Structure 1
Amino acid sequence: MTDLRKLGGLLPAALLLGACRAAADTPPAPPPPEVGVIEVQMEPVTLRDELPGRVAPLRLAEVRARVAGVVLKRSFTEGSEVKEGQTLFVIDPAPLKAAVDSAAAALAKGQANLGQAEARAKRATALVQEGLVSREAYDDALAAQAMAHAEIAQARSALSLARLNLGYATVTAPISGRIGGALVTEGALVGQAEATPLAVIQQIDTVYVDIKQPASQLTRLRRAAMDASPQGAAGEHAALLVLDDGVEYPEKGELLFSDISVDPGTGEVTLRARFPNPSRLLLPGMFVRVKLAKRVDQAALTVPQQAVGRDGGGNATVLVVQPDGKAAVRQVQTGGVDRDRYIVTSGLNAGDKVVVEGHQKVAPGAEVRAVPFTPAPAPAASAAAPAAR
């Protein structure tokens, strides 16, 4: 009987000890997943139209032969940068030097004739006063002197022209820029019937982009550019450019409203934007897209593009961290793109915390730990310039 009482006392203690061991073996609950969030804020955003355009050089010059002759030498590397005044071609100068010598000899002959004519006119003047020569002989002497002066002037002009043509034998660059391929080779006869094209130079350190736009939209563009311009001055306004591979060009341009006219056949105007091109990434003839200011939304809400997803119906959605720390899916409406961000027109309010990073770790309704999102530096714009070199 005593043994049964002892066993009855030990049984509750054993059960209690087993329960404590089971509780000690249960792992703790995992912490809530960490997500990167941004707090949506109202900010002024410039809404833009995206229009097609073509790149054109700032200046273009055709290098032509201005004298006839045989090309002896090409003095540049095709496709290289040349400076204004740099020698490009040398045309055989021998015939032109001979023309200079001939003109110089004609001038010397004229000067000798002038000296003789002046001496005769001087003698005739003295003799006519004494009545020793006729008036006709005196007039002839003065006329001969005047003709000698005219011949001198003509000879000097001929010499200047010959020297000018001799200078044209050395063909130089009229502007600085990038030169294309040579259009003639050494040994070619140029300048016989016309000014033969030799090469083309295009200045592309700054370029134009020509944009076609309906004339009816011109006034709206002017007004939008005035609103978007921080200076509020007419004439030059910011424009952005997107390359044909979708990458945004790192340099900002200026929209020029001067020297535009309406094409009567199409009713369109050709606008020009001017862009710096220090890395020579933009080449004449290249197809690009230009973003022009449409209007300014002073209280826009934007979120990074990577924060926006799509549900089964194709609707745009974002994941929002609620005040209780739980994630919730919210449907939104987007109204355009500003750089790498969507402009949200409905579905969000200022102060909402939107998940940008860590979507795959979160299920709707789950508790999360929100930390500020830090974007990684974008390598696309910085890598574009070295690639162009």
Structure 2
Amino acid sequence: MRHQLLYRALLCAAVLTLSACTEEEKSSQSPPPPKVEIITARAQTVPNVLELPGRVQAVRVAEIRARVDGIIQRRLYEEGTHVEAGTVLFQIDPREMQANLRAAQATLERAEATAVNAAQDVKRYKGLVAKQAISQQEYDTAQARLRTARADVSEAQAAVESAELDLGYTRVTAPIAGRAGRAQVTEGALVTAANGTLLATVEQYDTVFVNFSQSSSDVLALRAQVASGELKLPSEGRVAVKLILEDGSEYPHTGYIDFLAMTIDVSTGTAALRAKVPNPDLLLLPGQFVRARIDAGVRPNGFLIPQRAVMISDSDARVLLVGEDGLVTSRDIELGDLLGSNWAVRDGLRTGDRIIVEGGQNARDGQPVRTVPYSGPEGDTPPTEASQQ
């Protein structure tokens, strides 16, 4: 019996020893917490950039239309070339207008002769009425004829001026300097002043307008942010605009907002905006599609975080944070604009939040992690934000 009890005691001790060794071996083989690279969120001044689609429009457009009836004799410009103001573009057959001018000049000469004769009658009658050789009524009638003759002269002079204008309109000139478009009529075509036949178009676009619009809800939100101090507009009142071309390149010249509609379009629910942009190289063409990046002030207490730190889904955007206890938590954020390789964050972050930038794919909510400062590519970390453990 004693031997059996001793054997059982030794067996239990061996089992306990083996179990302790197994647990110790399992504990020594469990993986360490994953390593992640983090940055610490710091409030800073962040540019408030709005990106909107827009269309280019020539700063001045002149439609060249016929102002007299006639036949086009010649086209005097090369289509698609630059023309100066006053350049003759078309010649309309002037013979009918020349005949009208000569007839008006003859009428003027006749009216002037009648007026001279009436003036002589008044001068002669003035001496006779003083001697009572003629009645006062005859003298008054002579003065009336003189006034009528002078009125006829004025009317004839106006007719001559009108005929001269019509004759001048047979030489169709460009009212502005710019690029002359394709001719809408050919030699031999009949044009009329009543219908205002379109002959060509001249567009001036060494400076251009860019038209775009913003939804009424965004306009209200901007006003509320300005009123609350969350957003500060440029102090000088000039809002800069940079353009992104269709190939993704940035247009080299900066424009400025020069018009903001104070009404909302009832059909689209948007407010119209317009920027004036220099175009010295004529790189921008009327009708061209561009994207406008509007420098709409700054946010004094904004946040910038690297793009790779943000996880975006169809419904929201979120980041992974490391708490004081070293555990991972997830938080939804409201994104603003993408500035270079960094996202501007409008809401959801606080100063001191430790944000996982690298290694987040290995981290889960509630899981402990080991943290090291983020050491990404130069320019990937916001310049005013310190990377801390």
Coarse TM-score class (shorter-chain normalised)? 0.5 to 0.7
Q: Distance in 1 between matches of 2:309 and 2:202?
A: 48
2:282 alignment counterpart: 280
- 2:91 corresponds to 1:94: no
Instruction: Report deviation, 1:124.
Output: 2.1
Whether the 8 Å contact between 1:81 and 1:178 is mirrored in structure 2 is yes
1:115 alignment counterpart: 116
Instruction: Report deviation, 1:373.
Output: 6.3
Instruction: Report deviation, 1:185.
Output: 1.2
TM-score by length of 2: 0.65
2:58 alignment counterpart: 57
Instruction: Report deviation, 1:163.
Output: 1.3
1:209 alignment counterpart: 210
1:248 alignment counterpart: 250
- 2:177 corresponds to 1:186: no
1:341 alignment counterpart: 341
1:296 alignment counterpart: 299
Whether the 8 Å contact between 1:225 and 1:237 is mirrored in structure 2 is no
Instruction: Report deviation, 1:44.
Output: 4.3
Equivalent AA in structure 2 for residue 296 of structure 1: R
Q: Distance in 2 between matches of 1:225 and 1:240?
A: 22
User: SS at the partner of 1:194?
Assistant: coil
2:21 alignment counterpart: none
Query: How many matched pairs?
Result: 305
1:195 alignment counterpart: 196
CA RMSD of aligned residues (A): 4.1
Whether the 8 Å contact between 1:85 and 1:175 is mirrored in structure 2 is yes
Deviates more, 1:109-118 or 1:187-196: 187-196
Cα–Cα, structure 1 residues 171 and 86, in superposed 2: closer, same or farther, change >3 Å? same
Cα–Cα, structure 1 residues 159 and 146, in superposed 2: closer, same or farther, change >3 Å? same
- 2:241 corresponds to 1:239: yes
Q: Distance in 1 between matches of 2:279 and 2:222?
A: 24
Q: Distance in 2 between matches of 1:224 and 1:95?
A: 68
Q: Distance in 1 between matches of 2:152 and 2:167?
A: 22
Deviates more, 1:114-123 or 1:218-227: 218-227
Q: Distance in 2 between matches of 1:297 and 1:338?
A: 17
Cα–Cα, structure 1 residues 163 and 127, in superposed 2: closer, same or farther, change >3 Å? same
- 1:122-177 residue CA offsets vs partner (Å, 9 max, x unmatched): 22222223232334432332222111111111111111111122222221111222
Whether the 8 Å contact between 2:233 and 2:298 is mirrored in structure 1 is no
Equivalent AA in structure 2 for residue 107 of structure 1: L
- Could you list the runs of 5+ residues in structure 2 that have no partner in the other structure? 1-40, 312-316, 320-332, 359-374, 380-389
Equivalent AA in structure 2 for residue 88 of structure 1: L
Q: Distance in 1 between matches of 2:151 and 2:344?
A: 85
- 1:293-347 residue CA offsets vs partner (Å, 9 max, x unmatched): 37436675566x8x9999xxxx999xxxxxxxxxxxxxxx99566554233769x
Equivalent AA in structure 1 for residue 101 of structure 2: V
Structure 1 residues 1-389: aligned runs within 5 Å: 44-221=45-222, 230-233=234-237, 236-292=238-294, 293=296, 295-296=298-299, 300-301=303-304, 338=338, 340-343=340-343
Q: Distance in 1 between matches of 2:236 and 2:164?
A: 54
Q: Distance in 2 between matches of 1:334 and 1:223?
A: 17
- 1:240-259 residue CA offsets vs partner (Å, 9 max, x unmatched): 22222222222222123444
Instruction: Report deviation, 1:181.
Output: 0.8
2:12 alignment counterpart: none
| Percent identity of paired positions between Structure 1 and Structure 2 | 38
TM-score by length of 1: 0.65
Equivalent AA in structure 2 for residue 129 of structure 1: A
Instruction: Report deviation, 1:194.
Output: 2.2
Q: Distance in 1 between matches of 2:232 and 2:279?
A: 23
- Could you list the runs of 5+ residues in structure 1 that have no partner in the other structure? 1-39, 318-332, 356-369, 375-389
